[in-house]
A and B are shown apart, each in its own frame.
Chain A
Amino acid sequence: MSAHAEAITDSHNPTPRQNEQSADSLLQIRDLKKRFSLSGDFLDQLRFKGGKLVRHQEHVHAINGVNLDIKRGEALCVVGESGCGKSTVARTVMGLLTPTEGEIRYDGNRIDNLSSRQLLPYRKRMQMIFQNPYASLNPRMTIQQTLEEPLRLHHPDWKRPQILDKVEEVMRSVGIDPDWGKRFGHEFSGGQRQRIAIARALAVDPEFIVADEPISALDVSIQAQVLNLLMEAQQERNLTYLFITHDLAVVEHFGTRVAVMYLGTVCEVATTATLFDKPRHPYTHALLSAIPRLKDDRPQHIRLTGEVPTPVNLPSGCVFHGRCPHANARCKQEIPLLQTQDDGTRVACHAVEEGRL
């Protein structure tokens, strides 16, 4: 099945894979792994065991081999529950964390091993919006200063009037009155602060924006305002988004494609319409049925048993097998790989592969 789908995509391009994907994808994530050490520095790791000094190390396996492509102009949403590694993916892409293994390519060039000086030109092209606008704005800077800072850094040759003009333009574009520039972050409401955070990201005219749960800290009526703003910005500036969220209703509205993550691995990648219409992976099924809908009377959700295992001791085989109603012996031993289906959806599940689902 997978060979068939690849043959189609590759048919117009004689050199397989690499070229085909770099042609239209802005960002490529290859076999990305990130581990965080829990054991402290070298001396903290030493333990006495049976009269011997043993080095003991423990790791949080936050991401275990993630492969994703983000195409120009699309909004790729990454969904999953807390602890699944979605924010780690976002931060690694932005270079805020260095990957343990794997590669990140931006526009064909590898960016994960660059120094911060070498990263500077890329930072201008990719910007980030954080979850909590109460924490992401410097409380000791006025809004004017907050918005000027990225411009001064990325355009050292700009004169003051040019910077002021740009700040005013970007404030207008997110619906913040330019007269408020002298105010501080705490004088604004949550929704307005998030607008300012968006303005700061848009100030340097990026082409790629990583948004890590940008609306989850906001109220329902404000969420709609901010989501609209993000969509307008995408249309006007032809932005590409990597949008991290746990809210599937937002994904359905906003995303071009969706990647579902569970415990550091991607279990399904599909276009938004396909994913909501025809979910394949059992975890995606459970996630979708857990959305509280307004119109149905009785919750018909698939109840998952058990809890998400800890990423310190990963389960063997498929990471989802402990909670999966369709798990068998193979699922407990063999790690499933992402395989392309007829309609281009990529699913990592033995049950789907064997046709049991």
Chain B
Amino acid sequence: MALLEVNNLDVRFALRQGEVHALRDICFSLERGERLGIVGESGAGKSVAAFSLLNLIAKPGFIAGGTVTFDGQVLNRMSERGLRKVRGNRVSMIFQDPMMTLNPVLSIGEQMVECLKAHRRISSKEARAIALDKLQQVQIPSPETRLDQYPHELSGGMRQRIIIAIALLLDPDIIIADEPTTALDVTIQAEIMALLLDLCEQHNVGLILITHDLGVVSQVTQRMLVMYAGRVIEQGPTREIINDPQHPYTQGLINALPQMATPGEKLNQIRGSMPSLSNLPSGCAFHPRCDFINRADGQPRPACTQQVPEFVESGNCRVACHMVAEMLEDRRLKEETS
């Protein structure tokens, strides 16, 4: 059994205007030391997915169904007390904005020692030694002085290194990183991503990387999920999806990148924008923006507008698209007849 297994996860938000279905039928697994990317645009539900893994969804949100199983324990049925032993300890999180995560009135050392002592029975001195070791691992210059500095004294890149050091503090099995480099500059982003990748490989830590940047996902992760309007629409090995995307949305996302177009030519845009979760289109949520809702013979495919697509296996990937399903079915029929 995989280290982390997510089955049919379903998250809703009970709002005054009615219930909003933020996540539906999310299924994936993560092996020890594996790196998984979750990609999507804002509003796709990728951050909600990350938060719900550790049951961190705040009211009015709640997990309406499905299971998150970590190392044999079902996390979404655990008590708060039990969860506290997992959060930060065996599964830790890195957030987008390091200034929001660090406590501005405590020194770096105090925050790290606090975190260690909450989970382990050790003396402050031992805790400080561990903290120092972790700061060295994230290659912070003069780590001893950093321990006594406050977050505002450090630059953005340095703060994110400290966050990574804190995430590694208790030797977790999995790190969930929610847009860890979005707030940083390109050269710093490249440094931090390379550091995170090295550390995960060295310590055999699993990584769930949430980002909107396909370039980062393709360089760091082994498998990926593409999300659209609260659903996973394509999942599989990262290389295969990047090189041969099957779902029209994934194709559109990749082709819309400036690096995919000839300089000076028009970019391949996806028309329209992501629907609001409270007002999803019928059938496949992507159909109003999709160029493939007609069959090969030019007739519209009724399933696209009426029926939510099921996952079909296509090679090593799973795709939720009627068009892909139809193509695979055609191919199977042809093979059978010949």
Contacts and interface: CB of A to CB of B under 8 A. Distances in A.
Nearest to A226: B269
B263 A290 contact: no
A153 B218 CA distance: 49
Interface residues of A, number: 45
Nearest to B139: A305
A262 to B, nearest CB: 10
Interface string A311-338: 0000000000000000000000000000
A253 B267 contact: yes
A219 B269 CA distance: 12
Given A228-B266, A246-B185, A303-B191, A220 B253 contact: yes
A84 to B, nearest CB: 9
Interface string A140-179: 0000000000000000000000000000000000000000
A130 interface: no
A232 to B, nearest CB: 8
A293 B259 contact: yes
A111 to B, nearest CB: 30
Contacts of B280: none
A108 interface: no
Interface stretch (B91-99, B207-215, B319-327): B207-215
Interface string B143-177: 00000000000010110000000000000000000
Contacts of A286: 187
Interface of A: 81-82, 189, 191-192, 219-225, 227-228, 231-232, 246-250, 252-254, 272-273, 286-287, 289-299, 301, 303-304, 306-308
8 closest A-B pairs by CB: A292-B215, A253-B258, A81-B185, A224-B256, A290-B190, A224-B269, A219-B41, A224-B267
Interface of B: 41-42, 141, 155, 157-158, 185-191, 193-194, 197, 212-216, 218-219, 239, 242, 252-254, 256-261, 263-264, 266-271, 273-274
Given A293-B215, A299-B197, 20 more contacts: A191-B273, A220-B212, A221-B253, A221-B269, A221-B273, A224-B258, A228-B266, A228-B269, A252-B258, A253-B258, A253-B261, A287-B187, A292-B215, A292-B218, A292-B219, A294-B254, A294-B259, A297-B219, A301-B190, A303-B190
